[in-house]
Amino acid sequence: MKSPIGKIGRRELLVAGGAGGLGLVLGIWYGTRRERWRKNVPEREGSFSPNVYLAIETDGSVRIWVNRSELGQGVWTALPMLVADGLDADWSRVQPVQPLASRNYGVQFTAVSSSVRSQWQVLRQSGAAARAMLMAAAAKTWGCAREECATEAGFVVHSPSGRRLGYGQLALLASREPVPEVGAEDDLPPRLLGRSLPRKDLPAKVDGSARFGLDVRLPGMVFAALARPPRFGARLRGVSSRHAESLPGVRQVVTTDHGVAVVAVDTWTALRARDALELDWEPGPHVSLQGSHIERDLRTAIEGDLATARTAGTEPAEASRTLHAEYEVPFLAHAPMEPINCTVWLHDGRCDIWAPTQAPGRVQLTAMELLGLSEPSVSVRPTFVGGGFGRRVHDIEVREAVAIARKLTTPAPLQLVWSRTDDLRHDLYRPCALHRLTARLGDGALLSWQHRIAAPSIIKPAGGEATWVDPVGVEGAVEFPYATPHVEVRYRAVPTPVPLGFWRSVGHSYNAFAVECFIDEVAEALGRSPAALRRELLHAAPRHRGVLDAVERSAALVPLSAGRARGLAVHASFESYVAMIAEVGEDDQGIRVHRVFCAVDCGRIVHPDLIASQIEGGIVFGLSAALFGRITIEDGAVVESGFLDYRLATYSASPEIHVEILSSRAAAGGVGEIGVPPIAPAVVNALSRLRGERVRRLPLC
Amino acid sequence: MITLRLNGEDVAVDVPPEMPLLWVLRDVLQLTGTKFACGIGACGTCTLLVDGQARRSCVLPVGEVRGEITTIEGLGREGQHPVQAAWIAESVPQCGYCQPAQILAAVALLGADPDPGEEAVQAAMDAVLCRCGTYPRIRKAIDRCRRR
C-alpha cells in the first residue's frame, strides 16, 4: 500500500511462540530489516522485545500494541479494531497496550490525522495473517482440510462438524505455523469495521483511573516549576532565590539555559516558590515588539514579492467586475486542558521519561542527544494525553525537565509542571495570517481567482526567501477546488520572533476561512446562491459535491428559525471532505451559533461514532477560535494569561450538531482535524448574511 | 494535622491549612483523579463534591473544608454511578482530562434536582470547560439521567 504519509516499505512478520506465557505473537517491522533492529535494540532475555505487535495469550485474550498516542481521538479503539477485524477477534477480549517509544513500532508520531489512514492495510493484514495461522493449526488438530475451517469471533470452527477451538487453545500451535501471505485489502471481508464498538479508553476515563502525564506518581518524586524569560529573547541577568528557598518544602533552586526552576516536594510549593524568585532579566532584542508591528509586516509582505504556490490558466483580458477583500486571523494558543508537563528520572546511567506526547520517538531522541545516552538507556513511556491539538508534537518541556533533572543534587524522579499562564505565554502559536483575495468576474462567471497569503512560517520562523513556499502555510488554499479559467496562489513567509507550532488542521485552519468566505462573496456578486455557485464550480470535484449535496439535504429538513441566518462552507483536508451549514443568531447577548449541519466523506470507515465525536469536537474547537481566540503581543510578550482572557466555548455556547457520514469505498482519509477548518467560514458566512455586511476578521467577539 | 472526611473515610494530613485541597489530594494523598488545569478557579477541571455540592478544589484551602468530600475515585465505590454509566452510554469522553469534573458537576446538578431545567443545566455545566468539545454528548448523557 502506498501510504499517504510516507512509504511503509518492506515489512516483516515475526512469530515468537510460547515464550513469556504468551501464545502467538506477531511483530511487524517497518522499512528496515530485522538484523538492523537487533543491532540498535538488543532483544532482552526472558521477555519480548518491544517489536511485538499482537499477542494472543493462551487464555484467549488478545493484546494489541497501539503505536500512536491516545489524545481522545480514539486510536486505542480504531487501531485495535483494524487488527481485530482481520483476526476475527472477540472485541470483549481485546486489550490495547501502549508501548514504550521504539523505532520497532514504526512511526509513533501522532499527527496529520494519519493514524488510521496510514496503517489501515498493514494492521488488517497482520490480524488476517494470525487468523490464517490459527486456522492452519486447527486444521492440523482436527486432521481436516483448511478449507473446512472458518472463524467466529475468537474461535476456529470446523464447519462440517460444528467443532470449535478458541484462539487461546490454538495459540501455541499456531505460533509454529509459517507466516502466510494474506490476501489484498479488498479480499478481506469486514467483520468489525463500520461498527461503533465500545471504546477501550472510556472505563478508565469515567472512574478517574486514567493516568495522564500529570498523574505520574513515583516514590520520592519531586515537582518543578520553571521561571522562563518574560519576553521573547530575554536573558537572565541575575537571580535571588533567598525567599523562594526559605519556603518549607523547597528542595533546590536550579538555573538552566531555559530559566530558573524551583524544585519542591509538591506542585503547590514549587509554583508558589517560583513566584517568590527575584529575577533580573535583560529585556532582549524584542522588547518593543507590538502586535501592530506584526500586522504591518504582513501588510508590507503582501504588497511585495510573493512566491508562486500555484498558477494555472491565464488571467482574463477583460472582466466586467473585480472583487477585492482582505481576511485576517490572529495568533492562537492550543490550551489543552492538561497543562504541559514531563516526568524525568535520571538514575543508574539511564533516563526514564513519562510524557503525554504526540511524538514519543522524538522525545527519546531529544533525551538521547541531551544526555549522550544510547537508545536502550532512554525509556519513554507515553501516557494518556489530556489534549494534544498539535502542541504535543513539540518537546520543549522535555528539554526543560532533562536540564533541571541533571542539576538535582539528590537524584529523584522529577515532574515539571507548567501553570496555565506558562502554557498561554510560552506556547508555540498558530501563526497569524493576512490574505488578500481578488476575483475577476464576467458574463456571470468567475474568470480568475487570486489568493495572496502573508504569514509567519512554522517551518521557517526567521522568514523564507521570496521564492519559497511553506507547504503547510498554503495547504487548503493551493488546492482551490472551484473551476475557473485562472487560479493564482502566492505566499510569503514573514519573519517573527513569536514561537510557532502546529495547531489542529494547521494551514487549513486559516486558509479555509479565507477561501470559503470569499467564494461566498463571489456568489453574492454574481447574484447566485452560495450553494448553487459552489455546486456549479465543483462539477469536476465529485466528493466535494457529494458532501455539499448531503449537507443541503439534511439542513433542508429543519426550517430556519426567524431572526437567524445560515452559512455554508465546503473544505477538503487530510484526504477527507467536509461540508457544514451553520445557523447563527445575534442579540444583545452576542453571537450565538445554534445549529451546525455537517456532512463528511472520509472514505472507508472504522468506527462511525469516533468520526462523529471528532467532528463535533472539531466544530467546538474551531468555534472557540472563531468566536474568542486571540493571542495578543505587547512589548515582546504574550498578554493572555489564562481562561479569563483566552476564552473557550462553554457548554451553553455549544451548538446542536448533526453529523452525517457518507458511505464511501475510497481509501480512508483523516478525521481528527477535518472538523476544524469549515466551521469558521460557515459561521462567518451566516453572520455576514445576518448583518447584511461582510465580516473578514477573526475572532468575532 | 487536618482531618478530612474523604470518600467515606477519615484521612489525616499534615499540611499547611492554606494548601489547596487539589494539591493535598494529588500530591500528598496520590489521588490523581481530581485534575489541575488553571489553578485560579476559572475552568472547573478540579471540581469535586463537598457534601454533594460542586466545589473548585484548586482554590479551596484544605483548612476551610467542612463536610464530606467525594472525588471521582469515591463516586463509583459502590458500583458504577448512574452518571458514569450514562457517560459511557453516550461515549462522552475524548481526551478525558476534564471528565471527572464534568461527571461530578452533573452529579451535583442532578442531586439538587433530578429533572433540572435548561438554565440550571447551563449554570452547572458552563462551570467546567472541555477543550475537546464533548458538550453535545454531555447534554445527551444528562438527559439520560433525568428522572421525570
Confidence label for A44 from pLDDT (cuts 50, 70 and 90): very low
Q: Tell me if A575 sits within 8 A of A4, measured CB to CB.
A: yes
User: How confident is the model at residue A317, as a pLDDT?
Assistant: 86
User: How confident is the model at residue A99, as a pLDDT?
Assistant: 87
Q: Which three cell numbers stand for residue A318?
A: 477583460
pLDDT single digits (tens) A506-516: 999 999 999 99
| Averaged pLDDT score across all residues of chain A | 91
Confidence label for A318 from pLDDT (cuts 50, 70 and 90): confident
* d(C-alpha A668, C-alpha A605), whole Å: 7
Q: Tell me if B87 sits within 8 A of B64, measured CB to CB.
A: no
Instruction: Name the β-bridge partners of A443.
Output: none
A125 has pLDDT over 90: no
A499 phi, psi to nearest 5 deg:
-65, 140
B130 touches chain A (CB under 8 A): yes
Long-range pairs of A121-125 with CB within 8 A, sequence gap ≥ 24: A121/A1, A121/A185, A122/A1, A122/A8, A122/A11, A122/A28, A122/A30, A123/A79, A123/A82, A123/A83, A123/A86, A124/A82, A124/A83, A124/A85, A124/A86, A124/A185, A124/A188, A125/A86, A125/A182, A125/A185, A125/A188
Give Cα A127 distance to the centre of its chain: 26
In chain A, pLDDT over 90 holds for what percent of residues?
A: 82
A298 phi, psi to nearest 5 deg:
-65, -40
Beta strand segments in A129-285, E: 149-152, 155-158, 163-166, 222-227, 235-240, 250-256, 259-264, 278-282
User: How confident is the model at residue B148, as a pLDDT?
Assistant: 74
pLDDT single digits (tens) A146-196: 999 999 999 999 999 999 999 999 988 888 888 777 766 656 788 999 999
A48 has pLDDT over 80: no
User: How confident is the model at residue A45, as a pLDDT?
Assistant: 37
Confidence label for A23 from pLDDT (cuts 50, 70 and 90): low
Picking from B36, B100, B129, the nearest residue to A650 by CB comes out as: B129
Task: Give the type of residue at A41.
Answer: V
B72 has pLDDT over 60: yes
Residues A201-212, mean pLDDT to the nearest whole number: 97
pLDDT single digits (tens) A408-458: 999 999 999 999 999 999 999 999 999 999 999 998 999 999 999 999 999
Helix/strand/coil for A667 = coil
Smallest CA–CA distance from B118 into chain A, residue: A652
Q: Tell me if B127 sits within 8 A of B44, measured CB to CB.
A: yes
Cα A680–Cα A686–Cα A690 angle in degrees, nearest 5:
140
Mark yes or no for CB contact A651/B26 under 8 Å.
Answer: no
| Residue B29 per-residue DSSP state | S
Is A292-331+429-691 in the same CATH topology as A10-199?
A: yes
Least confident of A268-277, A637-646, B3-12, B70-79: B70-79
* d(C-alpha A94, C-alpha A71), whole Å: 20
Least confident of A123-137, A207-221, A469-483, A673-687: A123-137
User: How confident is the model at residue A102, as a pLDDT?
Assistant: 83
Provide CATH code, domain A10-199: 3.30.365.10
Residues A664-677, mean pLDDT to the nearest whole number: 97
A10 has pLDDT over 50: no
User: How confident is the model at residue A224, as a pLDDT?
Assistant: 98
A203 has pLDDT over 50: yes
CB burial class (10 A; 0-12, 13-18, 19+) of residue B54?
buried
A6 has pLDDT over 80: no
Q: Which of the pair, A101 or A699, is modelled with greater confidence? A: A699
The DSSP line for A397-445 is: HHHHHHHHHHT-SS---EEEE--HHHHHHS--BBPPEEEEEEEEEETTE
pLDDT single digits (tens) B95-130: 999 999 999 999 999 999 999 999 999 999 999 999
Mark yes or no for CB contact A388/B95 under 8 Å.
Answer: yes
Mark yes or no for CB contact B95/A207 under 8 Å.
Answer: no
Residues A342-359, mean pLDDT to the nearest whole number: 98
Confidence label for A24 from pLDDT (cuts 50, 70 and 90): low
Mark yes or no for CB contact A337/B45 under 8 Å.
Answer: yes
Task: Give the type of residue at A355.
Answer: A
Residues A101-124, mean pLDDT to the nearest whole number: 86
Q: Tell me if A613 sits within 8 A of A674, measured CB to CB.
A: no
Distance from CA of A124 to the nearest CA of B (A): 24
Tell me whether strands A94-97 and A62-65 are parallel, antiparallel or unpaired.
Answer: parallel
User: What's the pTM value of the predicted model, to 2 decimals?
Assistant: 0.94
Q: Tell me if A214 sits within 8 A of A341, measured CB to CB.
A: yes
A92 has pLDDT over 80: yes
* d(C-alpha A269, C-alpha A285), whole Å: 33
Contacts of A207 in chain B (CB under 8 A): 33, 72-73, 75-76, 80, 84
A280 phi, psi to nearest 5 deg:
-115, 115
Distance from CA of B66 to the nearest CA of A (A): 21
Q: Which three cell numbers stand for residue A113?
A: 490525522
User: How confident is the model at residue A107, as a pLDDT?
Assistant: 79
Give Cα A472 distance to the centre of its chain: 14
Distance from CA of B43 to the nearest CA of A (A): 7
Residues 37-96 on B with a CB inside 8 Å of A are 37-40, 42-43, 45, 71-73, 75-76, 80, 84, 87-88, 91-96
End-to-end CA distance of chain B: 45
User: How confident is the model at residue B46, as a pLDDT?
Assistant: 98
User: How confident is the model at residue B79, as a pLDDT?
Assistant: 78
Least confident of A76-80, A155-159, A444-448, A464-468: A464-468
* d(C-alpha A252, C-alpha A254), whole Å: 6
Phi-psi region of A519 (alpha: psi -120 to 50; beta: other; left: phi over 0): alpha
Mark yes or no for CB contact B27/A267 under 8 Å.
Answer: yes
CB burial class (10 A; 0-12, 13-18, 19+) of residue B59?
middle
Instruction: Name the β-bridge partners of A450.
Output: A438, A488
What are the extents of the domains in chain A? 10-199, 213-284+340-417, 292-331+429-691
| Averaged pLDDT score across all residues of chain B | 97
Q: Tell me if A297 sits within 8 A of A465, measured CB to CB.
A: no
Q: Which three cell numbers stand for residue A367?
A: 533525551
User: How confident is the model at residue A25, as a pLDDT?
Assistant: 65
Mark yes or no for CB contact B33/A384 under 8 Å.
Answer: no
End-to-end CA distance of chain A: 46
Size of chain A, expressed as the number of residues it contains:
701
Provide CATH code, domain A292-331+429-691: 3.30.365.10
A336 has pLDDT over 50: yes
Residues B2-12, mean pLDDT to the nearest whole number: 97
Cα–Cα separations (whole angstroms), residue A355 to A26, A399, A578 = 27, 12, 33
User: How confident is the model at residue A26, as a pLDDT?
Assistant: 61
Provide CATH code, domain A213-284+340-417: 3.30.365.10
Least confident of A184-198, A390-404, A450-464, A547-561: A184-198
Query: What b/e readout covers A495-531, taking b as 16+ CB neighbours within 10 angstroms?
Result: ebbbbbbbbbbbbbbbbbbbbbbbbbbbbbebebebb
A47 has pLDDT over 70: no
User: How confident is the model at residue A379, as a pLDDT?
Assistant: 96
User: How confident is the model at residue A699, as a pLDDT?
Assistant: 98
Q: Which three cell numbers stand for residue A646?
A: 483566552
Contacts of A249 in chain B (CB under 8 A): none
Least confident of A95-109, A204-218, A288-302, A308-322: A95-109
